[in-house]
Structure 1
């Protein structure tokens, strides 16, 4: 399933007079008649264009927005809060909310790592960081002032939890809806919540397909996560977004249109530490 995040071909640069170049994600809309530019509270630019516009036409539309962007961006940049460590990380599927704490130097983290449920170690040059999972906490030791390193540690821990929790959840939903349990893998996808691949016709029906989920799906509220899983399960039967596919999805997920919009919104509202490195606003 394609997420709102852009592929490299679906971006438009906006060079400002001060030398900074902003990059907008392009979204296509069947209802759009003229382009429009918006900026999210996190600073991500989105250029909405008619569905049939070629990329070159989207780039030609950019200069029309530059006067507005030149006026608006300095005020926005000044008001935008700087990233900081999250107070907590919520995993709705697991029913867990873990407080994030800075807990001491690297030596203390190493001493306490033996009793931790999970340990993540990261380094960048001379900077080192250790993340320890407790029953209700994620404790960071070492270079806690390096927010990029902290984000990497939180993301790596979440990906490990996603690999443990998401595959059995997908297979449980598959059985509940009459699908053969698919293979499920967890990936660090930068532009999708998930995707599906199906065996060729030459392969026996005993191999139902392979669903790939973004580890960030573990951060979704349960209704959105369950809908995402059903969306990909339906692709095991139809590898398109045709009317027949939508009818199959509506059977499993009656509020599918509202939930699809919810997934798009959830991508835009990902916490800064979970953003893909090349995502607008990252």
Structure 2
């Protein structure tokens, strides 16, 4: 006759792990528990989606409906794009969009190239000034210069009212360089040694071996830089005295956050068409400021987790 042995205790003398549920008497896989999780998830989705829907709906609602609602409209009865036409025809928003796109594209390219070259140099043991530069880079994450020294430096370089003042002060981010350096150090050294034996230069090793293996991390860092440049407004607030050179985010802050009124020269409507209400114009500015990033993000999102985790964790 076979006897059953008692269950073996867990290592360390602990007891078997119990399953807990937020609903008394129900397991996490039961239908009531799944229904509760679905309801909570639906509430979270609505909290995120409804404000965005309200902004878009208000931007395309007609004047009568916005006036009747006294503010935001959840669903427009007679959609119209008068607010967008008035803003883009007035010149202020269209010029700000061009400035933001130009600064974002140029700044991202310059920052990405500079960060890649610096990170690759710091990832090669024995490179010139390796340790002092790395220490300075780490110190820059702990000791940030204040607003006044930054302004005096930009003024001394003659970059007031220059687009370079929106790029150069934030050209290199220490955290992004550290992430790239960590990923470059994880690439097998045998590949780089073999390329050196074949007579490849450091630039050839970087462009033909390191970068093709680092597409995920480089793409994520590029996305970080692009979002930073697109959302930046403080540098423009400090260094741009000419309103015609304002980026989109400074226009957004001035006319939406500070609730400043748009003058007649900043909006343009056809003859006989009433000027859209302030709420519709502000909602349209907000939509125009977030649409470019919303369109670009899905193409980079699939690399986001992979790039950050590979570059930040070295095993």
TM-score, normalised relative to structure 2: 0.29
**Higher RCO (CA-CA < 8 Å; seq separation 6+):** 2
**Who wins on radius of gyration, i.e. which is larger?**
2
Q: Which has the higher strand share?
A: 1
